Amino acid sequence: MINNNLIMLRDQHKFSQEKVAEMLGVSRQTYSRWEKGSALPDIGQLPEVES
């Protein structure tokens, strides 16, 4: 479910995965795994993802 929300929000704002990853301070590969659902953001990063 988190992965679908990430995809939807990124698409709404017309950001690339690279841009979102940079904004969150993670690698593009890490962010890509979040969108694929193969990994979840660390609990400490959730407030940043939420805003």
| Vertex 51 angle, CA 4 and 31, to 5° | 45
Length, in residues, of the chain? 51
User: What pLDDT score does 1 carry?
Assistant: 85
pLDDT averaged over the chain?
89
User: What pLDDT score does 11 carry?
Assistant: 97
- Condensed to tens digits (0 to 9), the pLDDT of residues 36-45 reads 999 998 877 6
- If we measure between CA atoms, which residue out of 2, 1, 3 comes closest to residue 32? 3
- The conformation of residue 27, written as its DSSP 8-state character, comes to -
- Condensed to tens digits (0 to 9), the pLDDT of residues 25-34 reads 999 999 999 9
| Vertex 22 angle, CA 34 and 24, to 5° | 60
pTM, whole model, 2 decimals? 0.83
- Compute how many other C-beta atoms are within 10 angstroms of the C-beta atom of residue 12: 8
User: What pLDDT score does 35 carry?
Assistant: 96
